[in-house]
Structure 1
Amino acid sequence: MISSLFFRFRLFSRRLWVRSALISGLALIAAFLAPLGNYIPFGIAAKIDEETLQDLLDVITASMLTVSTFSLSIMVSAHLAADANTTPRAHRMLQQDSRTQTVIATFIGAFVYALAMTVMIDFGVFQTGEFALIYAFTVAVAALIVAALLRWVGHLDGLGSVEATLRRAEARAVESIDVYRRTPFLGGRSPKGDVAGALQELTAERSGFLQNVDTGKLSKDLDHWGGTAYLRHRPGAWLAQGDVLAEIGIDRLDEDRQAKLRAAFTIDDRREPGQDVIQSLIVLAEIGERALSPGINDPRTGLDAISRITRLVLTMPAERELDQPPAPRVFVPALKTEEVLAATLDPLARDGKAFFEVQISIQTAAAQLATHDAAGIREAAVDLSARGLAYAEDGLLLAQDMRKIAARALADGPAATLDADRAASPQGDGPDPMHAERAARDA
């Protein structure tokens, strides 16, 4: 359960300029505390004059301007490489990399600090006895620079590479799965049985992806009013303006109450990890799909993506309501676990249909996922196996390879293809599979 305020603050804090501004603020802190320099013991204050301080500031100003420019160019090049070789979603993820942001923010902030202190010295802001404390602050900034340089050298190894991006995407997925594990049903309750009483619809005021639901705030407001909320969607769903966010069981739902309830829903133009547990897994799948494209032709990266996704899905427990949920007045639909494999491993099976090793890996993953304690994932694993067989039949050349894959398969046979359905009804008197699927969905 992530509060809306914390969710927005976390997104805000991941911007590079925010961290740079915080480090630059050391100049204001140093200026405010400068008078305390008169109280530094051991006669240190008398040994540090304006010229000594200015020499150190000049070194920081000159060096940090060059280092900041060079580091920014490296960061941009690495991100563009990740965008070209993996997926635009990985590029966005790397933009939020805390280590890169902290290092570059240190360089930029140190430059701004030294420049600001130089200006204040030239304007005579400080007295002679105050230079000692400013010098101590500047030495601390220099120590931050050295630490940042060492971290930056270590971080440059593989920055923007496919392997490093895969590791970063997996780490982000682990964070989302941990949120899913700790707060099943987003911290609320599972909807069971028929809903008693009349419900009023709370609709979205804008279109976009549902990024976060502050179920704690929702439950607190509803507890005050004696109501309940039944969510229609989980984070990750696309909503159009006017779509129903939740059905509210309450005696009066005026505009003021609607505004308070809507504040718990964060809607924006892109999906964000956190409560959206599938999003980070999709990033891993997209990296594998790009690697399997004819232009790159890198099946081993596809295998890496399949193994990482399988390992992560196996750590996702079946969603069970907590004995004492933190948001008891909010009822949340269960995660559609069958969509996890459909959104990740199925596209990899489709794009890797011409690679024997990819198809073997898909069947191995399906067999492992068939042991999952969530029924939806077990059923999806059987479906994945059948679809993988159909893709393999369409893409492989050798019958021997196909027999090996079929021997590894969990499903009894391949999923039905359109050609097979057309062959079964050559005169067109058989059922249209697309019409049948639409009818089943509408029902």
Structure 2
Amino acid sequence: MNENWLFHWNRIREKLWVKPLLMCLLSIAAAFLATVADQPGIREWMPKVSKESVETLLELVASTMLVIAMFSVGSMVAAYASASSSATPRSFPLVLADDTSQNALSTFIGVFIFSVVALIALKNDFYEQAGVFALFTLTILVFAIVILAFIRWVDSIARLGRLGNTIDKVEKATASAFEQRLHMPYLGGQMALSSTPQGVSIFRESIAYLQRVDMVRLQLLAEKFDLKVHVQSVPGTFCTPNRAIATVEYLNKAEKLGDEGLQALGNCFVLADNRTFDQDPRFGLVVLCEIASRALSPAVNDPGTAIDVIGTLVRLFHQWADGKQRKMPEVQYDRIYVPGLVEQDLFDDAFTGIARDGAGAIEVAVRLQKAFESLSAIGFKPLAKAARVHSQLALARSELAMALPQDIDAVRSAAKF
């Protein structure tokens, strides 16, 4: 259930309107909270404050907050455009979900709503003398929050959308997806059988990417209908109507699922137009590879970014190797069989594009061979095997792309491991 909540929470975070709406509701509640000071037993202790001074302060806040909010939106849109153009459009959801920017925008809009509501209530004598002082105190507090939020936001917006910041966000999201998959290597189910499962195949009519498998609901349905479910499409798979997403194996041969039962099982597989980072660690590797490939294009010609991405990939694969050598976690969903991630596929996603587009750049080719050497020395055999295979492929590409014999010798020397 925690995994389901996390998936939906991540989708909510990608919506720019959610936090401003919540802050608006809190601001309206805060404006009316000042009336509590007018209750008997409290108002006697409140000092007197000029009503006109509070009105002036609220008018100042109301006149400036909307301008600042519009300025912040313009800056955020520019940062989003920069992230999509300089890195890759696939990184846009991560930049959009930046907490600092969303919190700052929500604060500015919320304070504007607070000042307008409080000003209307004040001019209509909604507050008594104690309430006016409480409103004055709240306004000073809100003003201090705005100043702190603005300073923090300015520090963040200077980096938001920049290429290095985007790479860091993608690395963080990919590392989180890796860690989640390491704790549940088969999404909490059992390892898929090596043989082809026999049973009834489940298809979906949609043509889209598989974003998530609702393992909790799938387990409940499997127990209800007394069957096993062999998952054939993992998150990140591009699904089509002719491609089975799962196969149902009946344990009780006398009972058969109808169309409604098969549809209920199929609905446990969430499809959408785009891939997400949650249950799909390979997507993060694809995005990082895209960033490096764009940097290596003739229009950009930035091999330093590609080298930075290679270092990021090495860190991620070290994390993967360390996690794979831990103790295997317990099975949570014993009726569901899920294929695991294959290291060769992970390397294909991460390094194929970089090796192809950076084959003619000596600094990138050598750095790539050093990365493969580092990964092969970890001691995790599947990773070492994939590193050697990709080292040979990258060397072959460099030999075809490079014209200077000295450059080719340098790459061969780095690939000797």
Aligned to 1:224: 224
**AA matched with 1:247:** T
Aligned to 1:363: 369
Change in CA separation of 1:143 and 1:188 when aligned onto 2, cut-off 3 Å: farther
Please give the alpha-carbon distance, in whole angstroms, between the structure 2 residues aligned to 1:2 and 1:397: 55
Aligned to 2:244: 244
Asked whether the 8 Å contact 2:369–2:415 carries over to 1, the reply is yes
Shift of 1:71: 1.4
Deviates more, 1:302-311 or 1:199-208: 199-208
Deviates more, 1:281-290 or 1:376-385: 376-385
Among 291, 294, 299, the alignment partner of 1:290 is 294
Aligned to 1:29: 29
**AA matched with 2:243:** D
Aligned partner of residue 191 in structure 2, secondary structure: coil
Root-mean-square deviation (CA, aligned residues, Å) is 2.6
Shift of 1:237: 0.7
Change in CA separation of 1:86 and 1:323 when aligned onto 2, cut-off 3 Å: closer
Aligned to 1:330: 336
Render the CA deviation track for 1:309-360: whole Å, top value 9, x for unaligned.
1221121133888452222221111112211111121211111112101110
Please give the alpha-carbon distance, in whole angstroms, between the structure 1 residues aligned to 2:120 and 2:67: 20
Aligned to 1:81: 82
Aligned to 1:268: 272
Please give the alpha-carbon distance, in whole angstroms, between the structure 1 residues aligned to 2:181 and 2:65: 42
User: Is 1:166 equivalent to 2:142 in the alignment?
Assistant: no
Aligned to 1:351: 357
Aligned to 1:106: 107
Aligned partner of residue 344 in structure 1, secondary structure: helix
User: Is 1:213 equivalent to 2:213 in the alignment?
Assistant: yes
Relative to the length of structure 2, the TM-score reads 0.89
Q: Tell me how many residue pairs correspond in the alignment.
A: 410
Relative to the length of structure 1, the TM-score reads 0.84
Please give the alpha-carbon distance, in whole angstroms, between the structure 2 residues aligned to 1:19 and 1:220: 34
Deviates more, 1:153-162 or 1:79-88: 153-162
Please give the alpha-carbon distance, in whole angstroms, between the structure 1 residues aligned to 2:203 and 2:72: 46
**AA matched with 1:114:** S
Asked whether the 8 Å contact 2:14–2:93 carries over to 1, the reply is no
Shift of 1:410: 4.8
Please give the alpha-carbon distance, in whole angstroms, between the structure 2 residues aligned to 1:331 and 1:369: 30
Among 302, 305, 311, the alignment partner of 2:306 is 302
Render the CA deviation track for 1:236-279: whole Å, top value 9, x for unaligned.
11112353221123433234433443343221111100110011
Please give the alpha-carbon distance, in whole angstroms, between the structure 1 residues aligned to 2:85 and 2:33: 48
Please give the alpha-carbon distance, in whole angstroms, between the structure 2 residues aligned to 1:207 and 1:94: 27
**AA matched with 2:310:** I
Aligned to 1:58: 59
Shift of 1:125: 4.9
Please give the alpha-carbon distance, in whole angstroms, between the structure 1 residues aligned to 2:290 and 2:76: 22
Asked whether the 8 Å contact 1:25–1:113 carries over to 2, the reply is no
**AA matched with 1:30:** A
Change in CA separation of 1:152 and 1:341 when aligned onto 2, cut-off 3 Å: same
Please give the alpha-carbon distance, in whole angstroms, between the structure 1 residues aligned to 2:210 and 2:326: 22
Shift of 1:142: 2.3
5 Å matches for 1:384-403? 384-403=390-409
Please give the alpha-carbon distance, in whole angstroms, between the structure 2 residues aligned to 1:31 and 1:103: 20
Asked whether the 8 Å contact 1:319–1:334 carries over to 2, the reply is no
Aligned to 1:175: 176
Q: Which runs of 5+ in 1 are unaligned?
A: 412-443
Change in CA separation of 1:265 and 1:115 when aligned onto 2, cut-off 3 Å: farther
Change in CA separation of 1:191 and 1:91 when aligned onto 2, cut-off 3 Å: closer
Aligned partner of residue 331 in structure 1, secondary structure: strand
Shift of 1:43: 4.2
Q: Which runs of 5+ in 2 are unaligned?
A: none
Deviates more, 1:201-210 or 1:307-316: 201-210
Render the CA deviation track for 1:42-90: whole Å, top value 9, x for unaligned.
7464524643432232222112112111111111112212222221122
**AA matched with 1:316:** W
Aligned to 1:130: 131
Aligned to 1:93: 94
Please give the alpha-carbon distance, in whole angstroms, between the structure 1 residues aligned to 2:51 and 2:218: 58
Asked whether the 8 Å contact 2:76–2:157 carries over to 1, the reply is no
Among 408, 414, 417, the alignment partner of 1:408 is 414
The runs of 4+ residues in structure 1 deviating greater than 6 Å are none
Please give the alpha-carbon distance, in whole angstroms, between the structure 2 residues aligned to 1:261 and 1:136: 56
Asked whether the 8 Å contact 2:230–2:246 carries over to 1, the reply is yes
**AA matched with 1:103:** A
**AA matched with 1:212:** R
Aligned to 1:380: 386
Change in CA separation of 1:124 and 1:240 when aligned onto 2, cut-off 3 Å: farther
